[in-house]
Structure 1
Amino acid sequence: MTDWIERAREVAAKLAVDAVERDRRGETPYQEVRLLKDNGLVTLLGPAEHGGGGQTWETAYRVIREIAKADGSIGQLLGYHYLWAWAARLVATDAQVAAVEELYTTGNLFFGGAVNPRDADLTITEDGDSLVYHGHKSFSTGGKVSDLTVLEGVLEGTDDHIFAIVPSQQEGITFHDDWDNIGQRLTESGSVTISGVRVPWESAAGYVDRRFRPLVYNTLNVPAIQLVFANFYLGIAQGALETALAYTREHTRAWPYGGDDKQAASEEWYILEGYGDLQAKLWAAEALVDKAGTAISRVLHAPREELTPEARGEVAVLIAAAKQRAVDTGLEIGTKIFELTGARASASKYGLDRFWRNLRTHSLHDPLPYKRREVGAYALLGEYPTPTWYT
């Protein structure tokens, strides 16, 4: 793990150089994704026999966090890529898993996903031995920087949801370049129209003879990606605190009108107290997120047939707790650092606002009070979260 984290730190250092300017321009991050590819981070979870890193999710989560310290958008893109690259293992047959992992690992391919359950699902029609996807999604993270896109829709006349992996660059997929939010500006998360994208029936993930064989393991997609969220939230928070500390060391001036005048800001009791409080809370959040990462990595890499509803529930509750801690701590840091750095730190050139904007934007993905309720129902009633699109 250590070597991969160090490699991620080296990539993050390059991203940090112009992170403020890139955030301001909001351009499609082709070069940033190329940097991830060139440094082997895209194939970190890929099988070693195909040239991949052969690493575990525990390592992947830490790598996401390191990248997000420098650039929350690129941390999100990498985290989503890891989840969609693992999607075959979550739901596909053994043969499909082997084919997908060889394809993306040998090709160093980057994943995006048009899987937004709040929209009406894409419609799938049958045409002989093919499935044909049609519809529109208001969000599709990865967009134009992806090589492969995960589609999900409902087969017409049924309640059957079918996942498939398709090339992103084709006539039937139109990315609309309409992501214009206050944060996570480089995630290519705009809307997409799917028009007549054809997939062979044998590529329908997890279907054998046109029937799906469900496992509890299939439902790990939500806990896995919720912990992706928590890790890039945590990375954003770490980046915010590190950036603020560096600013205070170099620029913040002591306040000369408090009756307890100091020579340097680093001697001010309220600055020391403020940073001490934030650092302690951040360390606590890190510990909980790491605990959750160890727990889910253990079940993600275990035989799929062995996962029980109870084991899945224990992991889901822990991740719900980790996510809320990462959000609350990160938002507090993103706000409090301005009090500790001083008025001049609010200048646009320093870009301290991007940390709060990034975390605030994505943490609205699904309501945090529901995560608190999941933990409360477990603590008070011993209930596990019911697997849904968000739990």
Structure 2
Amino acid sequence: MTATIVDARGNPDSWLAEATRLRALFAAESVVNDQAGGQPLAQIHALKNSGLLTIGVPVSHGGPGASWAVLLRIVRELAKADGSIAHLYGYHNNFLHGLLTMAAPDQQRDWMTSTLAGNWIWGNSVNTFSHSLFGRREGDWWVLNGRRPFSSGSHVADALIIAWEDEVTDARHFAAITAGRQGLTIEHDWDGIGQRQTGSGTVTYTDVPIHVSEVLSNPALAGRPIATLGPLQQQSVLLNVFIGQAIGALEEARGYTLGKSRPWIHSGCERHVDDPWIKRVYGELHIRLRAAELLADAALDALSAAWATGDALTAAERGEAAITVAAANVQAGDVALEVTQRIFEVMGARSATRTNGFDRWWRNVRTHTLHNPAEYKTRNVGHWFLTGEFPEPGTFQ
């Protein structure tokens, strides 16, 4: 796989054009890469050469300052070919933006400068629900022991955001570190049925040293609405991966139906595409997907506007964005699951082979939708609709 180095300063049109070029590049090998799993080193190399990794660095720190709306459209475009790479790219930007609210100004400056200079990709070892990594304070150092599962991007990252609990107080702390830290082991044990190259496995810590200067702290923004956008950023990445995967699946199915599907013996049609049933199913799927895509557009614009408001963001503005993102996430997940499952009905029996690899679309969406159950987002929307009360900012809300 080859790539042309692109100037990251660019503009939204050139960034989206580059994402489209990468989509075509990744699509050619997506079935093989899905079956291989492991580290997507060639894709990450192409992504680095594209210049797209650093466009989210704000202008105030010397970067191009791409908006969330642009970054999420790139996520969606990449997902049309490769859900794992779209996931990694979206989470990379999530972590970069997290630094801008979690880190002190001098920490932000240092990490953004390093990201630009090194063309870094960020991963994580945080996992909110895992109570399995603890640290003890020794002077100006923390010493970490334990493990973290679901460490997406850790297997290809240049730098990581990590989290642990104080072994005495159980208070949670976050830090940013470069990859390759002494005592830190990437286990490469992710074996999900989908998203097989996201590296969402285990990181093990054996006496890993963390200096207090690496611990993230920004008291000025603590509790402010702008500092609570992390869950909305994550949900937005997920929903655009869902939408992109569904678009990719439906387009791939259409190509198969036009070129390879055979008419059913009782259809009375010489061509499969002339069967009214086939036309109806494709029509239904396209209509539902288009509606979900439009809602996803509204959600990415809502997040982008909320982020751009900065310190002035109000709780009400944050709440409005949360409802829009939650609704879009639910719709995107439901429609993507339907599209990636029903395409087999209209492609026919010969489509269900490992060589074709059409099952990867459903496996990817099914794996990813389980990360953030639709039931609870739907309830949040319903509660708001009935009472006018926005969800309290918190994990996944």
TM-score, normalisation: structure 2:
0.93
- Paired residues of 1:51 and 1:106 also in contact (CA < 8 A): no
For the residue of structure 2 that corresponds to 1:301, the secondary structure is helix
What residue number does 1:337 align with?
343
1:113-132 equivalent positions in 2, closer than 5 A: 113-120=124-131, 122-132=133-143
Q: CA distance change for structure 1 residues 122 and 361 in 2, over 3 Å: closer, same or farther?
A: same
Deviation, 1:155, is 3.1
Q: Distance in 2 between matches of 1:256 and 1:136?
A: 57
- Paired residues of 1:173 and 1:194 also in contact (CA < 8 A): yes
Q: Distance in 2 between matches of 1:213 and 1:352?
A: 45
Once the two structures are overlaid, the 10-residue window that deviates more, 381-390 or 28-37, is: 381-390
Deviations 1:253-311 (A, max 9, x none): 222323xx2222221111111111111111111111110111111121222x2122221
Q: Distance in 2 between matches of 1:193 and 1:69?
A: 33
Query: Which of these residues, 292, 295, 301, is aligned with residue 288 of structure 1?
Result: 295
1:1-391 equivalent positions in 2, closer than 5 A: 1-47=12-58, 52-120=63-131, 122-158=133-169, 160-207=171-218, 213-258=222-267, 261-303=268-310, 305-391=311-397
Q: Give the counterpart letter for 2:226 in structure 1.
A: Y
Deviations 1:171-225 (A, max 9, x none): 22111111111111111111111223323323321256xx984422221111111
- Paired residues of 1:292 and 1:318 also in contact (CA < 8 A): yes
For the residue of structure 1 that corresponds to 2:266, the secondary structure is coil
- Paired residues of 2:263 and 2:269 also in contact (CA < 8 A): yes
- Paired residues of 1:90 and 1:220 also in contact (CA < 8 A): no
Q: Give the counterpart letter for 1:170 in structure 2.
A: R
Q: CA distance change for structure 1 residues 71 and 154 in 2, over 3 Å: closer, same or farther?
A: same
Q: Distance in 2 between matches of 1:63 and 1:176?
A: 29
Q: Give the counterpart letter for 1:341 in structure 2.
A: M
TM-score, normalisation: structure 1:
0.94
- Paired residues of 1:266 and 1:272 also in contact (CA < 8 A): yes
Q: Distance in 2 between matches of 1:346 and 1:267?
A: 22
- Paired residues of 2:263 and 2:272 also in contact (CA < 8 A): yes
Deviations 1:127-170 (A, max 9, x none): 22223333211221112211111111233433543211111212
Q: Distance in 2 between matches of 1:339 and 1:56?
A: 39
Q: Distance in 2 between matches of 1:55 and 1:200?
A: 31
Deviation, 1:75, is 0.8
Q: Give the counterpart letter for 1:200 in structure 2.
A: H
Q: CA distance change for structure 1 residues 20 and 227 in 2, over 3 Å: closer, same or farther?
A: same
Q: Distance in 2 between matches of 1:345 and 1:133?
A: 49
- Paired residues of 1:152 and 1:163 also in contact (CA < 8 A): yes
- Paired residues of 1:50 and 1:106 also in contact (CA < 8 A): no
RMSD, aligned α-carbons: 1.8
Q: Distance in 2 between matches of 1:42 and 1:175?
A: 22
* Uncovered stretches (5+) of structure 1, i.e. residues with no partner: none
Q: Distance in 2 between matches of 1:377 and 1:274?
A: 34
- Paired residues of 1:91 and 1:205 also in contact (CA < 8 A): yes
Once the two structures are overlaid, the 10-residue window that deviates more, 82-91 or 318-327, is: 82-91
Once the two structures are overlaid, the 10-residue window that deviates more, 148-157 or 181-190, is: 148-157
For the residue of structure 2 that corresponds to 1:32, the secondary structure is helix
Q: Give the counterpart letter for 2:296 in structure 1.
A: V
Deviation, 1:49, is 7.7
- Paired residues of 2:253 and 2:343 also in contact (CA < 8 A): yes
The percent of aligned pairs where both chains have the same amino acid is 36
Q: Distance in 1 between matches of 2:135 and 2:98?
A: 19
* Uncovered stretches (5+) of structure 2, i.e. residues with no partner: 1-11
Deviation, 1:338, is 0.4
Q: Distance in 2 between matches of 1:373 and 1:173?
A: 39
Q: Give the counterpart letter for 2:274 in structure 1.
A: E
Q: Distance in 2 between matches of 1:267 and 1:139?
A: 46
Deviation, 1:85, is 1.5
- Paired residues of 1:50 and 1:105 also in contact (CA < 8 A): no
- Paired residues of 2:221 and 2:227 also in contact (CA < 8 A): no
Once the two structures are overlaid, the 10-residue window that deviates more, 191-200 or 264-273, is: 191-200
- Paired residues of 2:135 and 2:167 also in contact (CA < 8 A): yes
- Paired residues of 2:41 and 2:156 also in contact (CA < 8 A): yes
Deviation, 1:105, is 1.6
